[in-house]
Each structure stands twice: as C-alpha cells, then as structure tokens.
C-alpha cells in the first residue's frame, strides 16, 4: 500500500534575495526623472504615489510596508505628492497665469466656472495669493 503513495517532498526555503538599497536608488532616480514631465503636462494631474506607480509600473508603491523598505523613495514621495487642495491651487495658478497673459485681468466668476470649485472653498483665495506662480496680482471682483 505504501508503494501507491506519492513521494514526500522536501520543503524549499525561500531566501529574500532582494537588494532593497539598490531598488530604492533605482526607484528614486526613476521618480526624479518623471516628476518634471508630470508637472509640465498640458492638462495638470494631481501628483500622487499611485500616479508614479502606474507610470513606472511599480505597483507596490502604495503599500506602506513596502515603502518602509525604501527610505529614499518614501522621503521623495512625501515631498512631492500633493493634497487635493495643493493640486487645486497649482491648477488655479496655471490658469490665472494663462488668463493674465491673454487679458491682463482676472475675474473670480470666470475662475470659479473654469475650476468647478465650490464657492466656500474658492473664497479661501489667500492660498492662491501666497503662490509664487501667479505673475501679477491684478484680480478684480465683479
């Protein structure tokens, strides 16, 4: 009866042969190279870790335990990723600069319509004024 049983298999020990320092340097360089391209896109996109994951085909960048093994990459992502509010401010500044180039005058009503931002959030315009991207402060209320 023992002759009919399959042979026993030996357990294979898997060693972690990943060089995390090398991988960290590699990801860090790739993110640094692609970041300027993302900032200068014609249609602005929000800079997030998931965006880099998709662009670079590194699908583990959104996993916290994975990022802990990549200190340089994690630090860089913490510096350059944007919150929703930061992205809205950057997008506003880009459009304000374009409008100033064309008309030399900006109206809040036009901006509100363009950005589809709620009035209560848009009225917190102090964030836009603090940005260095806005070329001029000639903004008029109707």
Mean pLDDT by 10 residues, the chain (142 residues): 80 78 93 92 90 88 84 93 87 82 75 70 53 42 36
Q: What's the Cα-to-Cα distance from 7 to each of 2, 3, 14, 40, 71, rounded to whole Å?
A: 10, 9, 21, 62, 45
pLDDT at site 119: 63
Domain boundaries, the chain: 20-82, 85-140
Positive or negative CA dihedral for 83, 89, 90, 92? Answer: positive
Tokens of 35: 């970041």
């Amino acid at each position: 009866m023992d002759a009919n049983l399959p042979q026993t298999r030996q357990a294979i020990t898997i060693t972690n042969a990943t060089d995390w320092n090398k991988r960290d340097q590699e990801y860090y360089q790739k993110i640094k190279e692609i970041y300027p391209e993302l900032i200068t896109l014609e249609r602005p996109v929000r800079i997030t870790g998931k965006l880099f994951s998709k662009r670079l085909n590194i699908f583990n960048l959104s996993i916290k335990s994975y990022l802990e093994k990549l200190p340089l990459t994690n630090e860089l992502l913490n510096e350059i990723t944007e919150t929703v509010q930061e992205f809205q401010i950057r997008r506003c500044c880009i459009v304000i600069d374009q409008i100033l180039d064309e008309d030399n005058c900006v109206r809040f009503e036009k901006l509100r319509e363009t950005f589809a931002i709620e009035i209560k959030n848009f009225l917190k315009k102090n964030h836009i004024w603090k940005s260095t991207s806005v070329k001029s402060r000639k903004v008029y209320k109707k």
